[in-house]
Chain A
Amino acid sequence: MSLTYEDVIAKYEPVLGLEVHVELNTNSKMFCGCSTVFGGEPNTQTCPVCLGMPGALPVVNEKAIESSILIGLALNCSITPFSRFSRKNYFYPDMPKNFQISQYDEPICVNGYLDVEIDTDDGVKKFRVEIERVHMEEDTGKSLHVGGATGRIHGADYSLLDYNRAGIPLVEIVTKIVPGTGRYAPEVAKAYVAQLRDILRSLGVSDVRMEQGSLRCDANVSLRLIGAEKLGTRSETKNVNSLRSVERAVRGEMIRHAELLNKGERVVQETRHFQEDTGLTRSGRSKEQAEDYRYFPEPDLVPVAPDAAWIEKLRASLPEHPSVRRNRLQEQWGVPDKEMAAMLNADALEIVEATVLLGADPTRARGWWLGEISRIANEKNVAIADLAISPKDVAEIVALVATGDLTDKLARQVVEGVINAEGSPQEVINSRGLKVVSDETALMAAIERAIAAQPETAEKIRNGHIPAAGALIGAVMKETKGQADAARVRELLLGHLGQPTN
């Protein structure tokens, strides 16, 4: 019998560890001048340095160092006064040199933290995720496995390598272990990655496109009995390519570990691969045998020793921190804590802000994105940002409701139409014939018919029993297929029956 999540957290405490790889958005690679543009023809962005030709010498990209320092500063890290590159040796064709230039025992930034806020049963709660290190390295090439049925390595006859990506600056951000999140571990993991992404975006150092792989998360999860000191065996889940997946992967691994432990079996220390379709993980490489990368200092590169003046110049250029910005927007828009947390959890802040900047009322904009649009996104199992509706569309819809050209009910149909790729809001309105019936003669005729059909109700209203009006308004709205403005119908109806209309 499979365990429920409640069973798991009643008995075990999850411990997280998150490693995030970020591709920097420099124009040129980490150690050579090849372009970093995404999607080029295979092997058109390579040179002797990134192909690992004998005698070719790497030189560090200054902007990559600055971006790394900015990331460290934004994550409250210490910038180390002296840091070096190392060679990480391994045999795998994704790096033509047979080693990756990385940083080992002397990373550029250490000891930071990032606070994330989660909406818990006891209100909004802050969790501190401590950062162990931020280090610089280079990305690997892309392999294409040929001959297997699934495009996977198993069963492939041979592989084809494109080294355009090899050598693109990569920054790895590693957390310390994160205990104490309890039942909120999946949410904390997701919120951490989301907030990290927002910080990286605000710094302008990366495109942070998870689906394109410019932001990648590996989630380490282990369980221990509640109250136990000793950490359990962890698994490392790779291939987690969306925020939702981070949450699903952590939750899924917690349940999988607990099932093994409850059966008296042990968790194997291994790499696992997240499967987007099932939300489960598949066993990858076993890490039982400690990797031996034989790190040693990279003799072709000299140390990086940023002086205080350089660091302070970069610190002065830091943009508004996303947490400060969140507080500012929350205040400007007058959003209650609980709803702010919901908006962050739905990853809707950016999109709501974009809608507001296009002139929409903040409360209305938030209402659409978190209400109807989120509902449709959930139904389709995608993120709101992936739907074919833009902040511009929503701002337009909000404006049409404000002017009375659309009722809320009609607006919902417009939203649905836009998401179904029927065109812009105006096109959906035209093609579906969604127009508020504002022809008062037509409305009055419908009201007359409703009164004729329900004479007793009309009589009650005439006698001052206003709540009875609902039944008649409903009949009119039904007859006009929801295309009338209910408030106007109420006014006309009450006026017609000799009652005050306020």
Chain B
Amino acid sequence: MSSLSRSDVANLARLARIDMSDEELDHLATEMDVILGAVARVQEVATPEIAPTSHPIPIHNVTRPDVVVASLSPQAALSGAPAQEDARFRVPQILGEEA
């Protein structure tokens, strides 16, 4: 059975950009481990004959034809943006990576 350590949770929080206190990490590490334990019971009934599934309904090839439909106006697209400039979304300084 898989288990989740406190440092796993800290790493997940970092990847998800969620700032967590030490107490929260302690608490969540325990709690998430319990959740994983519950999910692990499902694996007990999974057999090689059962393919892993990512969708509850066994359907595939749902597609749309390659047809252009009207887009939002730039005003509408930008209407929810916290900041904008020159019809573009304005975002804070991006650090640590070259685009």
Contacts and interface: CB of A to CB of B under 8 A. Distances in A.
Interface of A: 26-28, 32-35, 41-48, 51, 59-65, 82, 84, 89, 91-94, 96, 143-146, 152-154, 156-163, 271, 273, 284-285, 292, 294, 297-299, 301-306
A62 B71 contact: no
Interface residues on B, range: 35 or more
A162 B61 CA distance: 31
Contact of A161 (B63, B69, B91): B91
Interface of A is mostly: loop
Scoring B73, B85, B89, B97 by chain A CB atoms within 10 A of each residue's CB, the highest score goes to: B89
Contact of A144 (B66, B69, B88): B88
B98 A42 contact: no
Interface in B49-79: 54-55, 57, 59-74, 77-78
B93 interface: yes
Nearest to A32: B69
Q: Which 8 A-B pairs have the closest CB atoms?
A: A297-B54, A33-B69, A160-B88, A63-B66, A62-B63, A161-B89, A305-B60, A284-B98
Given A34-B71, A41-B87, 14 more contacts: A28-B66, A32-B69, A33-B64, A43-B78, A51-B77, A62-B64, A63-B66, A93-B91, A93-B94, A152-B98, A161-B89, A292-B11, A302-B59, A304-B61
B46 interface: no
Interface of B: 11, 15, 17, 54-55, 57, 59-74, 77-78, 85-94, 96-99
A234 B91 CA distance: 33
B98 A273 contact: yes
18 contacts: A27-B66, A27-B68, A34-B69, A42-B86, A42-B87, A46-B71, A46-B77, A51-B72, A62-B63, A65-B63, A89-B15, A159-B94, A160-B86, A161-B89, A292-B15, A301-B62, A302-B57, A303-B60
Interface of B is mostly: loop
Contacts of B85: 146, 160
Contacts of A301: 62
A391 to B, nearest CB: 32
Scoring B63, B93, B99 by chain A CB atoms within 10 A of each residue's CB, the highest score goes to: B99
B88 A42 contact: yes
A302 B62 contact: yes
A304 B72 CA distance: 29
Nearest to A157: B93
Nearest to B54: A297
A284 B67 CA distance: 38
A302 B54 CA distance: 8
Contacts of A82: 60
A305 B61 contact: yes
Contact of A34 (B11, B68, B87, B94): B68
Contacts of A297: 54-55
A107 to B, nearest CB: 15
Nearest to A282: B98
Nearest to B55: A302
Given A28-B66, A42-B86, A62-B64, A156 B93 contact: yes
Contact of A91 (B17, B67, B99): B17
B94 to A, nearest CB: 6
Given A93-B94, A161-B91, A64 B66 contact: yes
A145 B99 contact: yes
A290 B61 CA distance: 33
A162 B88 contact: yes
A163 B71 contact: no
A28 B69 contact: yes
